[in-house]
C-alpha cells in the first residue's frame, strides 16, 4: 500500500521520517504522543489533512497534521494484511460441535485502503477472536459453504445452510454454530427453523455488529456464548445468540422465528418480539432458560428444505396503488405476504386506490395472501373493525402475532410443498416452529 492517498505535505513528512504504511510510529502533537500503526488513508471520505493510525487497543484515530507535529518511526512494523491465527488445543472430553461459516461482519476485517470491510475466513482466524472456545467445546468441523453478506442471500443459500447443518448433526455433532451477517440473519434463522424438522439439538446463529479488528468488536463474546449453547444447553431448536446489552455482560438466546434486528449498529440490536427470550447465557458457561422451549433429544434431522421463490413481502402504505399487487399476480407470484396496518387493515374505500378488487382477483387466481402487523408487536384481528372484516371475508389469512419476515419465509416454505390455497392457509396459522401463539406475552414489549 502506498502513501498516495495522503496529501503531498504529509507524504513528504512521512518519507523524511522513513515511514511507510504498516510501520509503527509515534506522533507527537501539543505535548501528547500517540503510538500505533500507520494506516493508509481511505480512497473515499476521511480528513485529507490527517494521519490515520491504529492504536494497540484496536481503535483508529486521526491526527490533524501541522507544523507542531513530529513523526518518529518505531521498531516493530507489522503487515496490515496479516490477520493472526490460533490453533486450538482440542479436549476430547468436551462436547463436539461444528461451525458453518457463511460470511458477514464476523467474517471480515477493515480494508484500510477503501475504508470498507473485506472478507477473510480461515478457521484459525475465527478462533483467534475467542481462543477460550477450546475450554467450552471441541470443534469437529468448520465448513464454509459460501461467504456472502446477508443482503445477498436467497432461498438457495438457506437450503445450502440447512443441508450443511443437518449433515453435521446427523454425523454426531452436539450442536452447530452458524456465523452469519447480522442484517438479515433473522430471515435465515426463521428459514432453518422450518427446514430442519425433528430437530432435537441446538442450532445457533450468531454474528457481530463490529468488525473483528475493532476494539469494540462483539464477535468474541457472541462466539463464546454461542459455543456454550451449542455444546451443552438443553435446547433442541434453532436459536439466535447475540449481545443482551451494550456491555460485555451476557448474551440473549432468542427463538429463531421470534427474533428481529431492531437497531442498525448497537451491539444489543436483536430483540425477541411478542415473547421473552428463551434465556440468557454468559461466556463463563452459565445459562438461564425460562422454559417453553424444545429440549435436547436424539434422532436424525428431517431435512425439509423446499421453498417457493415466487413469494413477495409487500408493505401497505398510504396511497398505495392497486397495480402494485396486480403486477405481482401478472408475474405469476403464488404468495403475497402483506404488512397490514393496525389489527389488519388495507385501503378499502371506494376511491381509485381501493385494494379490495385486486385482493379479490389475486385470491380467485389461487394466490395465497397472508397478513401480519406492521407494528411488529401485537397481533392481527380483522374482526374488530369493519374495514378489517372486508379484507378477511375475501379470504386473506391473518397470521396472529407472527413477525412479517417470519411469515414471509413460512409462506415460501409452505407453498414449496405444492399445496392448494386452502391447505396453505391452514398451515400458515398452525404453529410449526414457535412462530405463532394464541396469546402474546405482554412482558416482551420493547424489552
Q: Which residues contact 415 (CB under 8 A, 6 or more apart)?
A: 308, 310, 311, 334, 335, 368, 424
The answer to whether the beta carbons of residues 343 and 382 sit under 8 Å apart is: yes
Long-range contacts of 115-121 (CB under 8 A, 24+ apart): 115/42, 115/43, 115/44, 115/45, 115/46, 117/211, 119/147, 120/83, 121/147
410 classed as catalytic: no
| Segment holding 163, helix H or strand E | helix 155-170
Where are the alpha helices (H) located in 216-333, listed in sequence order?
219-232, 323-330
Q: CA-CA distance, 205 to 203, in Å (whole number)?
A: 7
Rounded to a whole number of angstroms, the distance between the first and last alpha carbons of the chain is 46
The answer to whether the beta carbons of residues 150 and 181 sit under 8 Å apart is: yes
206 classed as catalytic: no
Catalytic residue among 54, 201, 261, 390: 261
Q: CA-CA distance, 117 to 211, in Å (whole number)?
A: 8
261 classed as catalytic: yes
| Segment holding 159, helix H or strand E | helix 155-170
Catalytic residue among 23, 54, 102, 105: 105
Catalytic residue among 182, 257, 294, 406: 182
Neighbours of 287 (CB within 10 A): 17
Quick one: DSSP state of residue 387?
H
* Active-site annotation, residues: 105, 182-183, 261
Amino acid at each position: 500500500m502506498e502513501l498516495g492517498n495522503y496529501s503531498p505535505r504529509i507524504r513528504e513528512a512521512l518519507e523524511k521520517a522513513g515511514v511507510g504504511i504498516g510501520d509503527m510510529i509515534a506522533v507527537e502533537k501539543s505535548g501528547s504522543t500517540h503510538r500505533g500503526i500507520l494506516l493508509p488513508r481511505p480512497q473515499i471520505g476521511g480528513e485529507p489533512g490527517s494521519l490515520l493510525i491504529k492504536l494497540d487497543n484496536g481503535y483508529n484515530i486521526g491526527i490533524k497534521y501541522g507544523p507542531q507535529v513530529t513523526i518518529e518511526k518505531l521498531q516493530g512494523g507489522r503487515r496490515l494484511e496479516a490477520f493472526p491465527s490460533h490453533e486450538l488445543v482440542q479436549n476430547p472430553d468436551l462436547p463436539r460441535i461444528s461451525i458453518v461459516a457463511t460470511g458477514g461482519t464476523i467474517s471480515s476485517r477493515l480494508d484500510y485502503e477503501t475504508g470498507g470491510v473485506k472478507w477473510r475466513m480461515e478457521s484459525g482466524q475465527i478462533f483467534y477472536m475467542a481462543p477460550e472456545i477450546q475450554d467450552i467445546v471441541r470443534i469437529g468441523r468448520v465448513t464454509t459453504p459460501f461467504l456472502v453478506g446477508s443482503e445477498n442471500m436467497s432461498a438457495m443459500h438457506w437450503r445450502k445452510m440447512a443441508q450443511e447443518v443437518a449433515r453435521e448433526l446427523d454425523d454426531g455433532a452436539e450442536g452447530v454454530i452458524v456465523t452469519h451477517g447480522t442484517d438479515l440473519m433473522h430471515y435465515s434463522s426463521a428459514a432453518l427453523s422450518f427446514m430442519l424438522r425433528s430437530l432435537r439439538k441446538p442450532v445457533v446463529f450468531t454474528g457481530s455488529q463490529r468488525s473483528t479488528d475493532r476494539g469494540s468488536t462483539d464477535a468474541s463474546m457472541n462466539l463464546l456464548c454461542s459455543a456454550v449453547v451449542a455444546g451443552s444447553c438443553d435446547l433442541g431448536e434453532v436459536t439466535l445468540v447475540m449481545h443482551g446489552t451494550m456491555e460485555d455482560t451476557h448474551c440473549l438466546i432468542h427463538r429463531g422465528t421470534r427474533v428481529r434486528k431492531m437497531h442498525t449498529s448497537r451491539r444489543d440490536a436483536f430483540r425477541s418480539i411478542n415473547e421473552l427470550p428463551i434465556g440468557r447465557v454468559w461466556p463463563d458457561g452459565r445459562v438461564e432458560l425460562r422454559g417453553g422451549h424444545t429440549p435436547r433429544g436424539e434422532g436424525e434431522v428431517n431435512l425439509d428444505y423446499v421453498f417457493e421463490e415466487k413469494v413477495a413481502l409487500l408493505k401497505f402504505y398510504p396511497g398505495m396503488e392497486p397495480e402494485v399487487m396486480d403486477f405481482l399476480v401478472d408475474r405469476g407470484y403464488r404468495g403475497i405476504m402483506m404488512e397490514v396496518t393496525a389489527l389488519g387493515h388495507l385501503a378499502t374505500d371506494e376511491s381509485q386506490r381501493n385494494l379490495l378488487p385486486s385482493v379479490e382477483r389475486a385470491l380467485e387466481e389461487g394466490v395465497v395472501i397472508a397478513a401480519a402487523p406492521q407494528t411488529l408487536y401485537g397481533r392481527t384481528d380483522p374482526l374488530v373493525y369493519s374495514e378489517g372484516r372486508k379484507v378477511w371475508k375475501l379470504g386473506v389469512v391473518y397470521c396472529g402475532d407472527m413477525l412479517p419476515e417470519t411469515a414471509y419465509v413460512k409462506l415460501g416454505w409452505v407453498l414449496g410443498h405444492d399445496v392448494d390455497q386452502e391447505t396453505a392457509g391452514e398451515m400458515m396459522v398452525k404453529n410449526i416452529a414457535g412462530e405463532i401463539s394464541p396469546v402474546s406475552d405482554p412482558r416482551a414489549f420493547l424489552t
